[in-house]
Amino acid sequence: MSVRKFCKLSYCYQLVRLLLFTSFACFGASQLYAQTAREETPLQVSLVKAYLYITSRTTWPEGAIEDDSFVFCINRNHELFETFSTFLPTKQIHKKKIELRFFNESSASDQLKCNLIALSKNEKGNKMVAANVKNSPILTIGHETDVTLSGGVVFLAHDKKLEPPKINFSVLKSSGLKIDSGILDISQRRWGKEE
């Protein structure tokens, strides 16, 4: 093989390698961008709106909400973490700015500073949170697993679309919270005495 032919082949080989590398790099960057700039699904948006609606239709005992903000607590592993982070900073509940805080499932002191805790799919963690905030005016809502079975107040049931919420009446009553009767009337399942 002549030197000239070898150089031409080597040049073509280098060009093909460069083109392949560039195409893989562009594909990888587009995938990374798609993951970080993802759009929320209609169900995710509906769930966030349901969290906000139920919260807005809940009454806390006098003095339970700080004067300047409503503390909405979420675990960083929560399925809707990014969606809440996007939507909540611009919203208000009970004419108070929403403050998004992170909490540790094993820290009762973190949880007792919350007005609402968005529970995740971690059933063991949900039971721990429910035990930590028992008899406190803290609304616990979840949508990934039926949190009413582990001591949560509201479960936002869904199967591709929202269904009427499930409410644990005995936990609701012991918390001192009151949920609007319109929501209570449509709730799917009830535990404890209804008064």
> Does 124 share its domain with 175?
yes
Enclosing domain of residue 14? 1-38
Residues 6+ apart with CB under 8 A from 91: 52, 98
Residues 20 and 59 in one domain: no
CATH number at residue 113: 3.40.50.2300
Number of domains the chain is built from: 2
Nearest alpha-carbon partner for 71 in 138, 155, 152: 138
Q: Are residues 74 and 170 in the same domain?
A: yes
Check whether residue 123 and residue 180 sit in a common domain. yes
In this prediction, residue 147 carries a pLDDT of 92
Report, as ranges of residue numbers, the positions in the chain whose pLDDT lies below 50: 3, 6-7, 12-13, 15-37, 193-195
Within this chain, do residues 86 and 11 fall inside the same structural domain, yes or no?
A: no
Q: Each residue of 125-144: pLDDT tens digit?
A: 899 999 999 999 999 999 98
117 shares a domain with 63: yes
- Residue 46 shares a structural domain with residue 33: no
- Residue 26 has a pLDDT of 40
Please check whether residues 30 and 99 belong to one and the same domain.
no
pTM: 0.76
Compute the distance between CA of residue 67 and CA of residue 58 in angstroms, rounded to an integer.
Answer: 17
Q: Which two tokens stand for residue 118?
A: 């968005």
